[in-house]
Chain A
């Protein structure tokens, strides 16, 4: 399908006109570039648009208003923990002392940030029951890679070279198997049992002398606490493998379960989930990783150290010979970590426990409210999220989970995560978080019930949704078949580029 109708917003290129724009810096001296050889110089200026400031501001404000966001409404996107993002954290991260600090600033002039990072490491270690924490990974998936590379280094350091497999339950996030591949391991998928937990017999059969690690999400992506976690951990360690916990669902267990105490060897945190740092339209986040004592030597470098006199410094290169090295430049997504620190300080121990209690209470309440209208594949108490299914509705009416998701948009809600985990037919993963009021939860439940009724009474209303969004459903097939991935200022962009 090609573009035949109107445009929602012009692109920034369409707003530009030669001669527009406002000057932000003075003109340089004419001879400023004379010493640069012509061969290294740009022959033609980049084809960037020339836009005046008022039009530019209006463009980005108008575009922003096409988004659903936590600040505009309920966002129950399962496995993403779309909780409220406190504004004091935004203010804090922008304090010039934090924001303007160069990452290679010598330690003596970076004491404030180093102290904050050190205290954050301590807090995360306490929350997870781990012995050591790195703040370096920039996101959860990079945290996973960090953890699995540490496990790889651990086995190799012991001369245990044949372990080339990582076990991953079939309900896991796609990042888990993708991480195992990136770290050079073969992924072995383990099926779930009828109760949503890991199938113990299959797990036992898959485990062996080639197993390097087992990656477990707990609570699982079904929102269920892994009922046999103690047995699983014993089996893993008996087999000489290590246990990795995907901490994506940490919001469900703060103060209730410390993975390090329970026997996990490595875990990552998603501070943009559990500790409220904003999701930014896809990022940035941060993915700190905690490890037990025997893995501390392998943590990425540099770590933040506290000296005997109470000052702080960064580890020097090669100070810890077993380190897996660097995962990125400098020390991490520090601006994100400032926000996470502020969140943890604001809550303290009692507040974090209350976060979890309220998140779990809200999820169970919402599950209870939806139980009449939707299938609830796992009825036992959920943690911070739960899976509902439209399998019965689809069988009776042909209306699918995707349709219900799109219809929710008309009611002013962001849809839940749909068709994930892959193990549930017509599944939707719903995570209300602790920051939605009872009225918001009831409003969502009412909308879901109304849509379920519509599926029977007026299915076209649901299958044709959304009706009130800025656009209708999109032609995703053509977008993939004839990709138009950037504006071509000279060629015009409405015609998809030929393959």
Chain B
């Protein structure tokens, strides 16, 4: 066996102690008729061959592209200290801190996570973590139903489609209603939650609303009128759920500042690699008023019997191992190690560093907007954005495919995520962060202009842009070789 310590002699000694001849006797209780057919799996692989296989598979992914893809998962600079701390076996090979006397490291780190995120979100209570932003949003939606004893939730179409779909799946069991609030179709507020529609949906007095869910920034990167959405929700006796991107909170108003009852979000941007979608970090937080409704573990400060400060899992009566079918959720295993990564990240960049990260992304995004507009791809909407926005590109899917061959991952083809929204046909959703370089922007703009002019749909980029891009092409080409 690859990792086992037992020698043939060890096994013989254990069998002898048990008074049996072979280990098969320990499986005699499996009925003959139900015993397994032989396992058909490849032979065991020595570590040197396994390592080579894994390197080959990893090498088959192309990650050295100039990437402008966000849409829920973002590239950021993670200080190497984060992963070096995460690699300590004391962190990653422990489990849920059921025995607080030998788990104070994990417990204090969770308390600190609750505190750091409490500051960032400006919320009272932060759950120790959920699976991802979508599952956290689903738990938030269920919370609103439990707390208000109502069965109808409104979610803005500005909330990531995967989140809306996840809430819908979670709602199937309780036969709860989920309705979507449309986005404004045109004008200066195009792409943001339609407040008039929200008002109409809230006014159906025979179908009271438990919660209203909106995202800041929204799926299209636009800034939403969160204050106004929250006021409308409260006016109808509904709870307000704000779905946030945590790095943006270095510069954007936190959910607590505009009266959100619950905050949910994806913590991946806080020091966690994209990893093809996970493990990431579901953030879920609430006001004190909802502390007994919030699912997931909570760690509190207490003292030991000598008065020494210590930390312990608390308010456990919400949890499945205590309350079984009456629990607030079935969640058990969470994303604790990812919460630790987020804590270390936040502590290492600090309040000013986080602001710089968010503001630098905003600055790079503004440069990207100018460059793409010059290349013939203007913004799709007029409203303010932070670091992600949609641009209009004729035949977006084909252009996106061709740009890949030129070393550019040109964001997301919006019609692939939202196929039923005609307003999003022929559009790319692009983002920039602090790791986006001017050279990458120039490469994108040059290649896009070239594609668009080849298609005869717009003029080519000016010579100055093209000049920058020539160098960038070389640099990006070299980068691709390193994947």
Contact = CB atoms under 8 A, between A and B. Distances in A.
B91 A281 contact: yes
Interface string A359-371: 0111011001100
Given A64-B105, A97-B61, A471-B100, A85 B34 contact: no
A102 B73 contact: yes
Given A64-B105, A484-B300, A40 B252 contact: yes
A187 B325 contact: yes
A486 B92 contact: no
Interface in B50-68: 50-51, 53-63, 65, 67
B254 interface: yes
A278 interface: yes
A394 interface: no
29 contacts: A32-B362, A35-B366, A41-B252, A46-B122, A67-B104, A92-B54, A98-B275, A101-B274, A101-B276, A109-B63, A138-B131, A141-B331, A142-B331, A174-B321, A177-B325, A256-B35, A261-B34, A284-B338, A326-B169, A327-B169, A328-B132, A344-B41, A348-B41, A352-B41, A472-B304, A473-B101, A474-B302, A485-B126, A485-B291
Contacts of A423: none
Interface in B68-120: 69, 71-73, 75, 77, 79, 81, 83, 85, 87-106, 108-112, 114-116, 118-120
B104 A324 contact: no
A42 B301 contact: no
A37 interface: yes
Contact of B104 (A102, A113, A470): A470
Contacts of B266: 329
Given A85-B92, A437-B10, A409 B105 contact: no
A280 B92 contact: yes
Q: Top 5 closest A-B pairs, CB basis?
A: A71-B89, A330-B277, A97-B58, A112-B60, A280-B337
B314 to A, nearest CB: 4
Given A126-B41, A346-B45, A67 B103 contact: yes
A415 B18 CA distance: 24
A63 B363 contact: no
A466 B160 CA distance: 49
A283 interface: yes
A384 to B, nearest CB: 10
A132 B142 CA distance: 29
Contacts of A23: 353, 356
A32 B51 contact: no
A425 interface: no
Interface stretch (A53-61, A198-206, A288-296, A452-460): A53-61
Contacts of A98: 57-58, 61, 275-276
Contacts of A86: 2-3
B200 interface: no
Contacts of B347: 12, 48-49, 51, 56, 59
A29 interface: yes
Given A1-B302, A329-B134, A332-B277, A354 B166 contact: no
B91 to A, nearest CB: 5
Given A110-B276, A112-B56, 11 more contacts: A24-B349, A33-B359, A63-B105, A67-B105, A181-B326, A183-B172, A185-B173, A261-B37, A283-B337, A335-B273, A485-B298
A70 B103 CA distance: 12
Interface residues of B, number: 203
Contacts of A438: 5-6, 10, 13-14
A283 to B, nearest CB: 4
Contacts of B109: 60, 63, 281
B459 interface: no
Nearest to A468: B101
Contacts of B356: 23, 25-28
Contact of A12 (B89, B116, B175): B116
B276 A1 contact: no
Interface in B348-364: 348-357, 359-360, 362-363
Chain A contact residues: helix, strand, loop or mixed: loop
B409 A67 contact: no
Contacts of B355: 45
B129 interface: yes
Contacts of A123: 41
A333 interface: yes
A324 B172 contact: yes
Contacts of A26: 356, 360
B61 A485 contact: no
A237 interface: no
A362 B352 CA distance: 54
Contacts of A9: 104, 108
A178 B329 contact: yes
Contacts of A97: 55, 57-61, 63, 483
Contact of B55 (A8, A95, A487): A95
B94 A345 contact: no
Contacts of A68: 94, 99, 102-103
Contact of B91 (A69, A96, A142): A69
Interface string A74-110: 0101001011111010111111111111111110111
A177 to B, nearest CB: 4
B81 to A, nearest CB: 6
Contacts of A335: 273, 275-276, 278-279
Interface string B356-390: 11011011001000000000000000001010000
A163 interface: no
A101 B274 CA distance: 6
A400 interface: no
Contacts of A11: 108, 111-112, 115
A334 B351 contact: no
A5 B306 contact: yes
Interface string A309-338: 000000001000000111111111111101
Interface in B1-52: 1-6, 10-11, 13-15, 17-18, 23, 25-31, 33-45, 47, 50-51
A230 B30 CA distance: 10
A1 B279 contact: no
B124 interface: yes
A65 to B, nearest CB: 6
A215 B184 CA distance: 46
A435 B128 CA distance: 30
B274 A103 contact: yes
B27 A360 contact: yes
Contacts of A43: 253, 257
A82 B104 CA distance: 19
Central interface residue in A11, A25, A253, A327, by most chain B CB within 10 Å: A25
Contacts of B14: 361-362, 364-365, 438
A178 B73 contact: no
B303 A4 contact: yes
B465 interface: no
Given A129-B36, A334-B277, A358 B251 contact: no
A260 to B, nearest CB: 10
Nearest to B10: A438
Given A2-B303, A365-B14, A139 B111 contact: no
Nearest to A285: B333
B404 A108 contact: yes
B312 interface: yes
B18 A354 contact: no
B89 A329 contact: no
Interface in A179-195: 179-185, 187
A285 B96 CA distance: 12
A475 B359 contact: no
